[in-house]
Amino acid sequence: MTADTTQTKEKFTITTSTTTSSTENITTQVKALDIKDSQKSAHNHHKHHHHLLHKYNTNGEEASDDDEDDESCSPRSPVTLGPSPSVAKEHGLSRLIKNNRAWSKAIKERQPDFFEKCSQGQQPKVFWIGCSDSRVPENELLQLAPGEVFTHRNIANVVVSTDLNCLSVLQYAVEVLKVEHVVVCGHYGCGGVAAALGDHSYGLIDHWLGNIKEVKAQHQDNLDQIQDKEEKCRALVEINARNSVLTVAKSPIMKAAWERGQKVEIVGLVYDIQTGLLGELGYHVKNAEDLKAQLSVDSSALFSARAAS
């Protein structure tokens, strides 16, 4: 029998040996998941091959037996039954996966049924629209557990009426999850806002920054009166968040929710990275009347109120 014939046959027949290599056909690897009890001993010989993220140390050597005996490891990939060249060396995620195991263990020790309850559904009261900035983790700064805040994040927490991604998440939050608070949170030191203040071109992201530039143009005269560059950026952070609050409030999603009597408010917040504190911007919209009142405030009045505060 030729080598080619043998290889073809192995695509359709699982033998008692489940030894796999990086060159095996993917079909054979997937079928290996259906190994019967009669092959259990051979399977056990390779049961730890799915420790792909921590099986090897930084030198490419096998990890200690302590790691091998960790039964809380991630499920084995259906198409990667053993080590492959692409994962032969430990990488940055190894530490993160270990952190995850430690976190999961600590949660279970405090509340054994926590993850079981999480798996049954979510009932968050807060929908958070924030910046993608890694320094503004909403669960962490709000001290909320998984399942307590529904989230949408993008560069500079921008909400525009043409963003179907954001609006779809908003609709799900309001109509399905029945959240009570929609939070739009900007943050001082926002790179997206700072970029929008300048004239430098950044390529593709310029299309997104254009939304912030439009907000800047609406308040250009009042922004120009602020000489300090950092303070000007802080002001634009605030009015950019306000603009997103108003865009959410003007959406058909919120209009329909208020018309049917659903109690859901929109709140504008700002996060100060230097202090770790959240601040209220004074933009609260609970109904169509509140929206009308907010829309009646012109730029000069807005900046005067900001200076007074």
Catalytic residue among 45, 135, 272, 284: 135
CA-wise closest residue to 265 among 182, 170, 178, 186: 182
Residues 276, 279, 283, CA angle at the centre, nearest 5°?
Answer: 150
Catalytic residue among 48, 54, 133, 185: 133
221 is catalytic: no
Residue type, 9: K
- Residue 187 assigned as binding residue: yes
Strands 277-285 and 265-272: antiparallel
Q: At what angle do helices 299-308 and 229-250 cross, to 10 degrees?
A: 120
**Contact present, 268 and 182 (Cβ < 8 Å):** no
Q: What does each C-alpha distance from 159 to 212, 240, 244 come to in angstroms?
A: 10, 9, 5
Catalytic residue among 48, 76, 187, 234: 187
* Consecutive H or E run containing 126: strand 126-131
Catalytic residue among 131, 166, 185, 233: 131
- Residue 69 assigned as binding residue: no
Residue type, 278: L
118 is catalytic: no
- Residue 54 assigned as binding residue: no
- Residue 73 assigned as binding residue: no
CA-wise closest residue to 35 among 21, 53, 52, 15: 15
200 is catalytic: no
73 is catalytic: no
181 is catalytic: no
Catalytic residue among 73, 185, 190, 233: 190
Residue ranges for the known binding site are 131, 133, 187, 190
Q: What positions carry a catalytic annotation?
A: 131, 133, 135, 187, 190
Residue ranges for the known binding site for Zn(2+) are 131, 133, 187, 190
